[in-house]
Amino acid sequence: MLTIYGRTTSSNVQLVMWFIGELQLPHERLDYGHVYGGLDTPEFGALNPHRKIPVLKDGDLVVWESASILRYLAATYDDGGAFWPKDASERARIDKWAEWGKNELCNNFTVPIFWSRVRTAAANRDAGKLAAAISNFDAYMSILATQLGDQPFVCGQNLTTADIVIGHLLFRWFTMDIPRAENPRVEMYYQRLTERSAYREHVMVSYEPLRVEGA
């Protein structure tokens, strides 16, 4: 059985848990981080010297960093290669969008938008920077819309690891009280993701416990 260390309200944990749900893998998730603490213990430090979540333990193997965990799970448990193909060229086609999601989307959403709007009191918020960040992210959503085209998922007809990395952000993006440019293709894509039971269970998790007073 897999053991995952990390709270349900962590977006990086949600990414991992969504994929575990799609693969229907037996698992145990343990609450670590934020109000649960535990990251500064010697035991957790032995698992991850960076003291961050998520951490995956599979037998004697310990893996940290959500994208690394995702690739490990895909390589180990996606037997048919439905989410992460065995063919190197097909895998590269998916990996480049997954990397874009992790390095571009996550970096341009989590701190400049989510943390600014939810984790920062309005009195301490830089409204100008937040507005600029939202406009910038709208531009990224336009890129995503172009890639989607008439496809149901980022890389074609089937859900892949690229969707896991990109799609897990959209619940927060579309439910936060912020202005967003209309983007029918991405909106339809998001609605398609919400129809998946693993997405509803592991990604559509209230972030109200993370909201600071006055945000």
Sign, CA dihedral 193-196-199-204, equals positive
* One-letter amino acid for residue 16 of the chain: V
Fold of 2-77: Glutaredoxin (3.40.30)
Rounded Cα distance between 213 and 114, Å, is 15
Return the HEC string of 19-78: HHHHHCCCEEEECCCHHHCCCCCHHHHHHCCCCCCCEEEECCEEEECHHHHHHHHHHHHC
pLDDT in tens, the chain (215 residues): 899 999 999 999 999 999 999 999 999 999 999 999 999 999 999 999 999 999 999 999 999 999 999 999 999 999 889 999 999 999 999 999 999 999 999 999 999 999 999 999 999 999 999 999 999 999 999 999 999 999 999 999 999 999 999 999 999 999 999 999 999 999 999 999 999 999 999 999 999 999 999 99
Rounded Cα distance between 73 and 32, Å, is 21
All structural domains of the chain with their residue ranges: 2-77, 88-196
Strands (E) located in the chain: 2-5, 27-30, 55-58, 61-64
User: Which residues partner with 5 through β-bridges?
Assistant: 30, 55
Whether 28 contacts 1, CB under 8 Å:
yes
Which CATH architecture group holds 88-196?
A: Up-down Bundle (1.20)
Sign, CA dihedral 138-142-147-153, equals positive
Q: What is the pLDDT of residues 71-129, one digit of tens each?
A: 999 999 998 899 999 999 999 999 999 999 999 999 999 999 999 999 999 999 999 99
What pLDDT does 80 receive?
86
